């Protein structure tokens, strides 16, 4: 059985599937991957990955507040896409360099999850670019 999301009202950024996915993914990265990296990565990979993974849901939320401004919203979505890509690269580094420290399976799952998040952000940006408000009479 599939659920029809087409009639679901979006009242808040929390109603966006891409926000929910990005938020949950950031929690996994922060709690299951970053704490296992070696101490010498504290000011490089850990710091960068921590910032990029947390930035994705934050940018979606911030952009949603500017949804009345077509270009404003799209800028935040584009920035969130960039951060999602950066997070993917950081996760690949964790998997390929620190495979003795991290759970490679969790890294791969998160790499795939950020791939989905990136595609959702792209589709949201594309849909928003085609959206036109009807003038109020």
Mean pLDDT of the chain: 90
Confidence check: pLDDT of 79 > 50: yes
Largest CA distance in the chain: 63
The whole-number pLDDT of residue 2 equals 43
Contact 98, 37 (CB under 8 A): yes
DSSP assignment of 8-76 equals ----SGGG-HHHHHHHHHHHHIIIIIGGGS-GGGTTTHHHHHHHHHHHHHHHHHHHHTTTTSHHHHHHH
Of 23-37, 51-65, 72-86, 119-133, the range with the lowest mean pLDDT is 119-133
The whole-number pLDDT of residue 25 equals 98
Confidence check: pLDDT of 91 > 90: yes
Please state the rounded mean pLDDT for residues 82-108.
Answer: 98
The whole-number pLDDT of residue 1 equals 38
Map out the domains of the chain with their CATH numbers. 13-130 (1.20.1440.60)
Query: What gap in Å lies between CA 61 and CA 25, rounded to an integer?
Result: 15
- Kindly report the pTM of this predicted structure: 0.88
Please state the rounded mean pLDDT for residues 1-19.
Answer: 74
Please state the rounded mean pLDDT for residues 100-107.
Answer: 98
Retrieve residue 43's tokens.
């000011």
pLDDT tens, residue by residue, 18-55:
999 999 999 999 999 999 999 999 999 999 999 999 99
The whole-number pLDDT of residue 132 equals 53
């Amino acid at each position: 059985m599939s659920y029809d999301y087409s009639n679901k009202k979006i009242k808040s950024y929390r109603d966006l599937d891409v926000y929910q996915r990005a938020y949950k993914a950031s929690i996994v990265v922060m709690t299951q991957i970053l704490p296992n990296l070696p101490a010498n990565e504290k000011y490089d990979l850990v710091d960068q990955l921590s910032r990029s993974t947390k930035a994705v849901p934050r940018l979606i939320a911030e952009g949603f507040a500017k949804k009345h401004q077509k270009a404003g919203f799209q800028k935040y979505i584009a920035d969130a896409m960039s951060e999602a890509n950066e997070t993917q690269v950081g996760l690949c580094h964790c998997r390929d360099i620190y495979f003795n420290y991290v759970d490679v399976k969790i890294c791969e799952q998160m790499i795939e999850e950020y791939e989905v998040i990136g595609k959702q952000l792209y589709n949201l940006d594309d849909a928003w670019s085609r959206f036109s408000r009807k003038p109020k009479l």
